[in-house]
């Protein structure tokens, strides 16, 4: 009888893997470069290679591994085990579970990576102890997932694409075909886009911004640079963080009354902006919802880092193996 699950979090840059005990303790971890341009088969071979490597290094026999759980970016069909479309990767209607089963000889269960990240944080990280978790990942994009009474909420297939809620005051076109999607402003790339657009408007309004002085080549600018400029009191950086936080808080105020979560959990790379961004988000949110929703509403940031997706994927593998 298997005592472990293998958790895999597939990102555009890295694939994170781990062998995990049922209580959520990783006993082996690895990270390999995804190299998505080498193709789907290459990505599948990398994952299968990590499964073999993990078993070899730990000496765990394959029959002690119940299943492999895989978090895939983009749209997935968990029941068929198919990646329908993936951001940053090139999967189109690709049978991830069947292919990995063939390569590893183990049962494989896939889900959306944001859901499994939030599931990991909910079960083992900053969301522990809360029954109803609204989790966000704020990275190159913005997405959400819900854990309702300890279980992932699935809706009719892909709940949580809140980064594509259109907001009137955002002028940017989005890759999804809409204009003004929240994530075109509120994400790591969105923060940079706002800075570049303010500095490039030709009015000279921000000519004295640190961002203009330090980064004459705006192509190099990152969200971290905006955080650093914020810490030095740069007016443009402060305005961008406050505006983005306000837009996020306002959007959350539309979601919270419907969902009534116990906690809002924010993770992902851009969450490192911390209170610079999340301060105004919280302030706007709390000022825009009825007391019944805010009285017991906590607001936390993820604490597991790159382990969250691995642990969530492994938990998903345990759940599905148990028929849940
Ligand atoms: Zn969009």
pLDDT digits 0-9 by tens, 179-224: 999 999 999 999 999 999 999 877 778 888 999 888 777 788 999 9
Q: What's the number of domains the chain is made of? A: 2
d(CA 314, ligand 1 centre) in Å: 30
C-alpha closest to that of 8 among 106, 108, 81: 108
Q: Determine the distance separating the centroid of ligand 1 and the alpha carbon of 186, expressed in angstroms.
A: 12
Confidence of residue 2 (pLDDT cuts 50, 70, 90): low
Indicate whether 199 and 60 sit together in one domain. Answer: no
Residue 310 scores a pLDDT above 80: yes
43 in any annotated domain: yes
Question: What's the CA gap between 2 and 135, in Å, rounded?
Answer: 30
CA distance 9 to 13: 11
* Centroid of ligand 1 to alpha carbon of 141 (angstroms): 9
Please give the distance, rounded to the nearest whole angstrom, from the Cα atom of residue 318 to the centre of ligand 1.
33
Q: State in Å: Cα 166 to ligand 1 middle.
A: 7
Q: What percent of the chain has pLDDT over 70?
A: 99
Q: Looking at the domain assignment, is residue 35 inside a domain? A: yes
Rounded distance between C-alpha atoms, residue 158 and residue 163, angstroms: 13
Length reported for the chain: 324
Does position 324 have pLDDT exceeding 90, yes or no? no
Tell me whether residue 125 is in a domain. Answer: no
Largest alpha-carbon pair distance within the chain? 68
- 142 assigned to some structural domain: yes
Spacing, Cα 175 to ligand 1 middle (Å): 6
Note whether 9 and 322 are within 8 A (CB). Answer: no
Same domain, residue pair 183 and 112: no
Give the number of C-alpha atoms closer than 13 A to the C-alpha of residue 307, restricted to the C-beta side. 17
| Residue 206 near residue 252 (C-beta atoms within 8 A) | no
DSSP string, 137-195: EESSSEEEEEEETTEE--TTS-TT-GGG-B-TT---B-TTS-BSBGGGTSSHHHHHHHH
The answer to the question of residue 77 being in a domain is yes
Per-residue pLDDT tens digits for 27-39:
999 999 999 999 9
The residue segments making up the domain with residue 197 are: 130-301
By CB atoms closer than 10 A (0-12, 13-18, 19+), residue 49 is middle
- Beta-carbon count within 10 A of 77 CB: 17
Q: Give 258 Cα–ligand 1 centroid separation in angstroms.
A: 22
Are residues 181 and 102 located together in one domain of the fold? no
Distance CA 2, CA 22 (A): 10
pLDDT at 55: 97
CA of 14 to the centre of ligand 1 (A): 24
pLDDT at 67: 98
For the segment 139-149, the average pLDDT, to the nearest whole number, is: 95
pLDDT digits (tens, 9 = 90+) for 234-261: 999 999 999 999 999 999 999 999 999 9
- pLDDT interval class at 1 (50, 70, 90): low
DSSP symbol at 274: T
Ligand 1 ion: nearby residues, β-carbon < 5 Å? 164, 174, 176, 178, 181
Distances (CA, A) of 35 to 14, 104, 106: 8, 20, 24
Task: Give me the pLDDT at residue 212, please.
Answer: 86
Identify whether residues 183 and 254 lie together within a single domain: yes
Alpha carbon distance 178, 198 (integer Å): 22
144 and 13, same structural domain?
no
CATH number of the domain bearing residue 245: 3.30.420.40
**Domain co-membership, 178 together with 100:** no
Confirm whether 88 is domain-assigned: yes
CA 30 – CA 32 distance, rounded (Å): 7
Q: How far is the CA of 75 from the centre of ligand 1 (A)?
A: 14
CA 296 to centroid of ligand 1, rounded, Å: 32
Task: Mark whether 134 and 166 lie in a shared domain.
Answer: yes
**Is the CB of residue 37 less than 8 Å from the CB of residue 11?**
no
Do 135 and 127 meet the contact criterion of CB atoms below 8 Å apart? Answer: yes
Model confidence over 53-111: pLDDT tens digits?
A: 999 999 999 999 999 999 999 999 999 999 999 877 889 999 999 999 999 999 999 99
Ligand 1 mean position, distance from CA 30 (Å): 33
pLDDT in tens, 264-276: 999 998 889 999 9
Residue 231 sits in the same domain as residue 141: yes
In terms of domains, do 111 and 185 share one?
A: no
3-state secondary structure (DSSP) of residue 109:
strand
Write down the pLDDT at residue 218: 79
CB 182 within 8 A of CB 170: yes
Q: Is 3 exposed, middle or buried (0-12, 13-18, 19+ CB in 10 A)?
A: exposed
Distance of CA 169 to the CA centre of its chain: 25
Residues 134, 82: one domain? Answer: no
Asked whether 76 and 110 are in contact (CB, 8 A), the reply is yes
β-sheet bridge partners, residue 43? none
Tokens found for residue 99: 């292919």
Ligand 1 midpoint to CA 89 (Å): 18
DSSP string of 7-27, one letter each residue:
EEEE-SSEEEEEEE-TTS-EE
Tokens representing residue 16 in the block: 């994170």
Query: Can you state the percent helix, strand and coil of the chain, rounding each to 5?
Result: 45, 25, 35
C-alpha span between 115 and 7 (Å, rounded)? 14
Average pLDDT of the chain is: 94
> Can you tell me the mean pLDDT for 319-324?
90
């Amino acid at each position: 009888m298997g005592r472990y699950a293998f958790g895999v979090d597939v990102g555009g840059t890295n694939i994170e893997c781990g062998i995990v005990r049922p209580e959520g303790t990783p006993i082996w971890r690895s990270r390999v470069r995804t190299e998505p341009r080498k193709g789907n088969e290459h990505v599948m071979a990398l994952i299968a290679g990590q499964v073999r490597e993990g078993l070899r290094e730990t000496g765990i026999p394959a029959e002690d591994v119940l299943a492999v759980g895989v978090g895939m970016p983009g749209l997935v069909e968990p029941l068929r085990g198919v990646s329908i479309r993936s951001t940053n990767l090139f999967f189109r209607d690709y049978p991830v579970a069947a292919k990995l089963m063939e390569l590893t000889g183990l049962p494989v269960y896939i889900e959306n990576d944001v859901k499994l990240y939030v599931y990991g944080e909910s079960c083992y990280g900053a969301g522990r102890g809360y029954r109803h978790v609204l989790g966000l990942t704020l990275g190159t994009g913005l997405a959400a997932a819900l854990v309702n009474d300890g279980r992932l909420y699935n809706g009719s297939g892909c709940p949580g694409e809140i980064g594509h809620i259109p907001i009137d005051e955002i002028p940017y076109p989005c890759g999804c075909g809409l204009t003004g999607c929240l994530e075109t402003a509120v994400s790591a790339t969105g923060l940079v886009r706002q800075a570049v657009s303010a500095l490039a408007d030709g009015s000279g309004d921000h000519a004295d911004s640190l961002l203009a002085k330090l980064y004459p080549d705006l192509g190099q600018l990152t969200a971290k640079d905006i955080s650093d400029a914020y810490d030095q009191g740069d007016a443009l950086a402060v305005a961008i963080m406050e505006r983005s936080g306000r837009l996020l808080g306002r959007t959350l105020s539309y979601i919270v009354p419907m969902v009534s979560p116990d906690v809002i959990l924010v993770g992902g790379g851009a969450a490192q902006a911390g209170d610079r961004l999340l301060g105004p988000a919280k302030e706007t949110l709390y000022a825009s919802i009825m007391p019944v929703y805010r009285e017991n509403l906590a607001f936390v940031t993820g604490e597991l880092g790159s382990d969250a997706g691995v642990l969530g994927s492994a938990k998903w593998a345990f759940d599905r193996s148990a028929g849940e």
